[in-house]
Chains A and B, each alone.
Chain A
Amino acid sequence: MRHYLHLLLHEIRVMLFAPATYAASTLFLLLMGYVFYSILQDNSTSEQEVIPLEQFFRAFSLPVLFMVPLLTMRSLAEERRLGTLETLMTTPVSTVEIVLAKFSAAYFFYLLLWAVALGFPILADRVLDRGDLTPLFLDQGVLIGGYIYVGLSGLLFIATGLLCSGLTRSQLVAAMLTFSLLLIFIVVLPALREQADAFNGWLRFPLQYFEVTSHLEDFARGIVDTRPVAYYLLNTSVVLGLATLIVEARGTR
Chain B
Amino acid sequence: MGPLQLSIMDTPAAAIVVKGLTKSFGSHVAIRDVSFTVAKGEIVGFLGPNGAGKSTTMRILCGLLAASKGEAYIGGISVARSPDLIKRHLGYMPENNPLPEDLRVVEYLHWRAALKEIPRGKQSKRVNEVLELCDLHRKASRKLIGSLSKGFRQRVGLADAILAEPEVVILDEPTIGLDPHQVLIFRQLLDTLRGKTTIVLSSHILDEVERSCDRVMIINQGRIVACGTAQDLRSEYCTGTAIKIEFRGDKQALIKAIATVHADYVLHAAAPRSANDWLPAQILGNKAPMNDELLLRTLSALPGVELRAFAREEPSLETIFIAATKRSWDTELKGRNASPPASTDAPRPPSTPVATA
> Chain A residues in contact with chain B, CB under 8 A?
2-3, 6-7, 10, 13-14, 17, 82-84, 86-94, 251-252
Contact = CB atoms under 8 A, between A and B. Distances in A.
A171 to B, nearest CB: 14
A3 B88 CA distance: 13
Contacts of A89: 63-64
Contacts of B293: none
A47 B88 CA distance: 67
Given A6-B111, A6-B115, A251-B65, A91 B87 contact: yes
A67 B65 CA distance: 35
Interface in B68-111: 84, 87-88, 90, 92, 94, 96, 98-100, 102-103, 111
Contacts of B115: 3, 6-7, 88, 91-93
Contacts of B87: 90-92
Given A90-B62, A90-B87, A91-B115, A17 B98 contact: no
A62 B244 CA distance: 79
B65 A84 contact: no
A141 B194 CA distance: 68
Contacts of B111: 6, 10
Nearest to B96: A83
A84 B98 contact: yes
Given A3-B115, A10-B111, A252-B64, A92 B99 contact: no
B116 A86 contact: no
Contacts of A7: 115
Contacts, number: 53
Interface size on B, as a range, is 20 to 34
A95 to B, nearest CB: 10
Given A87-B160, A92-B87, 10 more contacts: A3-B114, A6-B111, A13-B102, A84-B99, A86-B94, A86-B98, A87-B98, A89-B63, A91-B115, A251-B64
B117 interface: yes
5 contacts: A7-B115, A13-B103, A84-B98, A88-B115, A93-B115
A92 B92 contact: no
Contacts of B96: 83
Nearest to A17: B102
Nearest to B146: A17
A98 to B, nearest CB: 10
A104 B63 CA distance: 26
A91 B100 contact: no
A92 B117 contact: yes
B277 to A, nearest CB: 55
A19 B61 CA distance: 37
B99 A90 contact: no
B112 interface: yes
Nearest to A88: B115
Interface in B12-53: none
A86 B64 contact: yes
A6 B114 contact: yes
A13 B102 CA distance: 9
Contacts of B62: 90
Nearest to A86: B94
Nearest to B90: A90
Interface in B109-140: 111-112, 114-117
Contacts of B117: 2, 92
Give the one of B65, B90, B114, B116 with max A CB within 10 A.
B114
A6 B98 CA distance: 19
B84 A92 contact: yes
